[in-house]
Structure 1
Amino acid sequence: MKKIALVTDSTADLTEEIQKKYNIHVVPLKVRFKDKEYFDGELTSEEFYKKLEKAEELPATSQPSPEDFANMYRKLLKDYDEIISIHISSGLSGTVNAAHLAKQSLDGKIHIVDSKTISLGIGLMVTEAARNIGEGLNALQIVEGLSKVRKNIETLFTLNTLEYLQKGGRIGKVQGVVGALLNIKPIIRVGDDGIYHTYKKARSQERALNGIVQAFKELARGRKYARLAVAHGAAHQAGIYLKEALESALQLKANIFTQVGPVIGAHTGPGTVGAAVQFE
């Protein structure tokens, strides 16, 4: 049986525990404040959000270079026969393109997968691939299966403000919310095209969180709930609220509960709360 290595990038927001459990190799993106640049993961989420709060200018982010990917792939191909590399939506980042460029420069079987989603939506795809590897599926079977898995994952989140998305240029098709003074919160869905869309709006964070629960029930369209992952950006209590509300409504325990990492957090800001659901 051929040995398969599993690669993703840091926007998957997978905990160290899960990375170790499934032997997942992570290529980090970077976040740059005025004074210093950090690889995603160098700062803890807590350190990042404290730094973000004090920053005079919003941080910038950058994707891995083709050489970053090539270095990872070269190292892995010494011990593995094939690589499956799953990354943030091409509609939101050039990361997957950098992976493709790296692949072209190397000999070896490397399968690049555009997740068409972000954060824990990617995380659910990666952990599904990891389980498939453990079950003995070959790389082509896993990659073909991921096309179906991708169609069965929904990722939704709400923000305190659109300021970070707007300034970071990742606004997608999210409608600008004029009613900031009315505390209107957008519920954002990552669409099938891999970019952000406004799914609904709510007049408070609590209503937005309840709206996310209802949205997942609407998006199920008769499918069964298989896995749940919840994340927050410096909003622990709101994250717990959403986790418990989803677990109750979907009758499903969360597989992952974590903080949104620095690179995603630089574009969504503090107060972000969201979840990804994998359907069967």
Structure 2
Amino acid sequence: MKTAIVTDSNSGISQAEAEKLGISVLPMPFIAGEDVYHEGKNLTTERFYELLTGDTVLRTSQPSPGEMASLWDNLLESYDEILFIPMSSGLSGTYTSARLLAEDYDGRVEVADARRISITMRHIVLDALAMREAGLSAREMREEIEKIALLSIVYVGVEDLKYLKRGGRISGAAATVGSILNIKPLLVIKGEKVEPFATVRGSKHCKKREVEEVLKAAQGFLDAGRKIWVGQAGSFPDEADIEEWKKLGQEAFPTETVFYDPLSYSVSCHTGPNAFGMGVSVRWEPGMKN
């Protein structure tokens, strides 16, 4: 069977990289006033941050059934089947919409609930590529992905509290006090929720704490005899900040290839600019026991 692998832009995988990997990426839509943008198509990084930091409230949305069907129909002209890996069902309605739409495709489209977003969502797409190389069908790939979905964790540090306030995740009073005291929230994403994990004084200490927590999680996976993926992300407009963050990650994991991606726009909408993420997940291997 010739299987197409499709994900969405919450994975951090760009259209150019998707072409190199031999996969397809469904752009996520964003709404600013009366305008609709699509990540990686008519919404560049520069324009995204211009909208995010401006007066217009930038809202996340999900691909329409028509957009999904158009991509799937085009792929099925060249492929026997499709594996679609959207963002976690607990964070978006895309998974549910895709499952309903897939019912019209007579078993040729499998939709996997990877229970992930951003950094570790990228990891599961790379795992899917390994599964395809190993000869698994779309159904078998979906089953394997859902078995290892929760063997991952992401931490995100937030620089500017006003975006958490805007999204209703913290009160106005908490945002004001936090800004005065230079408090930086550290969030955790595991499975279906984005939850507060810790509060740390200052960005430098928050980054250090984040790396420490990822190291702990990674060691737990390694102690269980697993191989791992390690990744970083950020919503840094400044290239120097990106390089500084990447350096911290590579120093923490000197023997691993540490990927870096821009933090997905869906996450950045809630965290604002200069947020920094780091995550680790178990790497899929043929015959692995979960």
Give me the TM-score of the superposition, normalised by structure 2.
0.85
Which of 224, 229, 232 is 2:231 aligned to? 229
Amino acid at match of 1:46: E
> Counterpart in 1 of 2:118?
119
Q: Does 1:258 align with 2:261?
A: yes
Correspondence 1:190-209 to 2 at 5 A: 190-192=189-191, 194-209=192-207
Query: Number of matched residues?
Result: 273
Say which SS state the counterpart of residue 234 (structure 1) adopts: coil
> Counterpart in 2 of 1:34?
33
8 Å contact kept, 1:210–1:242: no
Supply the RMSD in Å over aligned alpha carbons: 2.2
After TM superposition, give the deviation of residue 15 of structure 1 in Å.
3.0
Quote the Cα distance in structure 1 between the aligned partners of 2:139 and 2:270: 34
Quote the Cα distance in structure 2 between the aligned partners of 1:265 and 1:122: 15
Say which SS state the counterpart of residue 115 (structure 2) adopts: coil
Amino acid at match of 2:267: I
Choose 75-84 or 177-186, whichever is displaced more.
Answer: 177-186
Amino acid at match of 1:257: Y
Quote the Cα distance in structure 2 between the aligned partners of 1:139 and 1:35: 38
| Residues 162, 221 of structure 1: alpha-carbon distance in 2 compared, 3 angstrom cutoff | same
> Counterpart in 1 of 2:50?
50
8 Å contact kept, 2:29–2:63: yes
| Residues 215, 20 of structure 1: alpha-carbon distance in 2 compared, 3 angstrom cutoff | same
Deviations 1:169-204 (A, max 9, x none): 6x49xxx66523111111111123x11112222101
Say which SS state the counterpart of residue 105 (structure 2) adopts: coil
Quote the Cα distance in structure 2 between the aligned partners of 1:71 and 1:134: 26
Quote the Cα distance in structure 2 between the aligned partners of 1:148 and 1:120: 18
8 Å contact kept, 2:211–2:249: yes
Q: Does 1:241 align with 2:240?
A: no
Say which SS state the counterpart of residue 189 (structure 1) adopts: strand
After TM superposition, give the deviation of residue 122 of structure 1 in Å.
0.9
Correspondence 1:24-173 to 2 at 5 A: 24-34=23-33, 36-41=35-40, 42-53=42-53, 55-168=54-167, 171=169
Q: Which runs of 4+ in 1 moved over 6 A?
A: none
Q: Does 1:217 align with 2:215?
A: yes
8 Å contact kept, 1:153–1:276: yes
Unaligned runs of 5+ in 1: none
Give me the TM-score of the superposition, normalised by structure 1.
0.88
Quote the Cα distance in structure 2 between the aligned partners of 1:250 and 1:163: 32
8 Å contact kept, 1:49–1:234: no
